[in-house]
Amino acid sequence: MTVTLADVAARARVSPATVSRVLNGNYPVAASTRERVLLAVRELDYVPNGPASSLAAATSDLVGVLVNDIADPFFGIMAGAAQSAIGEGAGGRGGAEKLAVVCNTGGSPERELTYLTLLQRQRAAAVILMGGSLEDPEHLAATSGKLARLTEAGTRVVLCGRPPVPGDTGAAVLVFDNRAGARLLTEHLLALGHRRIGYVAGPADRTTTRHRLEGHRQALAAAGVPEGPTVHGPYDRRSGHEATAGLLARDPDLTAVVAANDTVALGVCAALRERGLSIPGDVSVAGFDDLPFSVDAVPALTTVRLPLHAAGARAGRLATGAEELPPGGPAVVPVELVLRGSTGAPRG
């Protein structure tokens, strides 16, 4: 249910005119009154009408695409594909194209919620959230509320590469089968004969990290192989480089390392070479995502291919209504194991 200015006034025990004065800042209001009004606005999650909209049911030609880091190829590929699909398949009011705007959150949950609020104010035609989410109950509840209000107002919401949030938000959901991909990768290493496998995981509070680590552990458990050392860190090259020292300190006889993604895997490879270790002769290395540079790494990376471009394009079509998800809940995007030169049988 949409929160009105009158609702805020009732919560703050002031008149609607006073609420308007506080929000517009065009009339002096006592500090204590102002604080009461702003507290009511936060508690009710009240969003004033955007300046471009005059009708409560109207939507603009704006589509917001939220990503953690547009400089990361994982997000750049999906966002670019979504933007192209939005431009090709969407007709806004009067036949105009939709305007796709990429919102870079920097991984900040606060910034993510702020962008959702701003897009709600502008009555965006659609919102696409890309990549894994923060596993924090308070943030998930806040996100669920924001998405529900967006869909109630007529905004299409698409989660791409992100599991559903709690509650009935009305969002279309595309999820990568990260668990299956991680199982395939670890099963490949086990089939080669590896039994001492280290793991460089992503941030511990992210859904993608947990799902990939769960798939890795499932493969080890099924084979009866003890879990090797695990180090958590950001999804970047530096994390892989620094984590390698920690892994080798905990188990100097590691024969393989699984990295959270391909970028992290590059850091692992560099750290191994600095220690005089060959890949895959001394230590096999595997990544995840199959980013464009993976095939050009030396040696080329064994990895799990995510269809990032296809998923992003599909998210764009869902956002514009050019495509609808089949009934039955989230659509699971399949993954594929790609074998290259960075993995081989352990020596001896």
The answer to whether residue 338 is domain-embedded is: no
DSSP characters over 92-125:
-GGGPPPEEEEEE-TT-HHHHHHHHHHHHHTT-S
Q: Check whether residue 222 and residue 189 sit in a common domain.
A: yes
In a domain, 342, yes or no: no
313, 168: one domain: yes
Our count of domains for the chain comes to 3
Same domain, 215 and 298: yes
Whether 129 and 276 share a structural domain: no
- On whether both 220 and 152 belong to a single domain, the answer is no
Highest mean pLDDT among 109-113, 161-165, 215-219: 215-219
Q: Could you say which DSSP state residue 191 is in?
A: H
pLDDT above 90 for 71? yes
Provide mean pLDDT across the span 314-324. Answer: 93
Domain identity same for 188 and 230:
yes
* Encoded tokens for 113: 């919620």
Render pLDDT for 230-272 as a digit per residue (tens, 0 to 9): 999 999 999 999 999 999 999 999 999 999 999 999 999 999 9
Give the H or E element holding residue 258.
Answer: strand 256-259
Residues 184 and 162 in one domain: no
Asked whether residue 344 is assigned to any structural domain, the reply reads: no
Same structural domain, 116 and 226:
no
> Given a cut of 70, is residue 169 above it in pLDDT?
yes
197 located within any domain? yes
183 and 302 in one domain? yes
Domain coverage including residue 12: 5-44
Task: Indicate the pTM of the whole model.
Answer: 0.82
Whether 341 maps to a domain, the answer reads no
Domain containing residue 210: CATH number: 3.40.50.2300
For residue 40, tell me if it sits in a domain: yes
Are residues 315 and 232 located together in one domain of the fold?
no
Distance separating alpha carbons of residues 330 and 26, to the nearest angstrom: 46
Residue 49 forms part of a structural domain: no
In this structure, are 282 and 315 located in the same domain?
A: no
188 and 299 fall within a common domain: yes
Specify burial of residue 270 (Cβ count, 10 A radius: 0-12, 13-18, 19+): middle
